[in-house]
């Protein structure tokens, strides 16, 4: 194998994750998460639920996210979830998940398709009501949805009170980050 001296960069093109604090809000790139989508094949819903349960992968209901010891997940669509795992131990996440599920589910690596920005601070609803249709005042921790931010389809996952993740298309990471910054400046 050729000796490539390639240097990994973050979605925003930096050496280390970028972070900015605007008033009470901090927006941080998060690059330590591996992602894979997990879709139960037709008629395998029960089998997938049992396997996931044994493997420590929570499968939350529509509009929800869940977290276990190693894996965190959020609901994507009927019979489909996004699985998050620590990048350091699960870089090849499909190879780790596939032996569990075999032919019952279709698993696709998503890690480098997405850029994740964690937003922390008080009064996030004031910022996100400027950004998207997702009503943070009506949804608490453990909620997750896909919505439109800056004309881009993004997932919003509420991790805890005052902490949420925006997961947007990596190729448009700068646009998502710009939208978040602009909304934070506008709100605070």
Partner 1 sequence: MIINHPLLGPRDAQEFTYLGDAALIDRPDALSFPSTEAALDAFHDYLYLRDNPAGEHRELWFHEQGDRSWLVVTRNTVTHEITKVELARDVARAKGRSK
Contact residues toward partner 1 (CB under 8 A) are 42, 62-63, 75-78, 133, 145-148, 153
CB of 163 to partner 1, least distance (A): 22
In the bound state with partner 1, the residue whose beta carbon lies nearer, of 141 and 153, is 153
In the bound state with partner 1, the residue whose beta carbon lies nearer, of 137 and 185, is 137
Q: What is the DSSP string of 35-81?
A: EEEEEEPTT-HHHHHHHHHHHT---PPTTBEEE-SS-EEEEEETTEE
CB of 89 to partner 1, least distance (A): 29
Structure tokens at 149: 């931010």
Closest CA to 48 of 83, 20, 17, 14: 83
In the bound state with partner 1, the residue whose beta carbon lies nearer, of 104 and 145, is 145
- Compute CA 183 distance to the chain's CA centroid, rounded to the nearest angstrom: 20
CB of 153 to partner 1, least distance (A): 5
């Amino acid at each position: 194998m050729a000796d490539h001296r390639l240097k990994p960069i973050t979605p925003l093109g930096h050496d280390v994750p970028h972070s900015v604090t605007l008033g009470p809000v901090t927006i941080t790139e998060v690059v330590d998460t591996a992602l894979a989508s997990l879709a139960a094949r037709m008629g395998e819903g029960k089998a997938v639920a049992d396997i996931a349960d044994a493997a420590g992968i929570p499968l939350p209901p529509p509009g929800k996210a869940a977290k276990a010891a190693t894996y965190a997940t959020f609901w994507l669509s009927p019979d489909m979830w996004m699985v998050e795992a620590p990048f350091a131990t699960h870089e090849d996440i499909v190879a780790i998940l596939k032996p569990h599920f075999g032919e019952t589910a279709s698993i696709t690596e998503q890690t480098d398709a997405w850029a994740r920005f964690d937003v922390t601070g008080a009064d996030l609803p004031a910022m996100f009501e400027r950004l998207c249709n997702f009503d943070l005042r009506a949804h608490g921790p453990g909620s997750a949805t896909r919505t439109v931010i800056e004309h881009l389809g993004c997932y919003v996952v509420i991790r805890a009170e005052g902490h949420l993740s925006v997961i947007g298309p990596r190729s448009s990471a700068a646009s998502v980050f710009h939208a978040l910054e602009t909304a934070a400046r506008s709100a605070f």
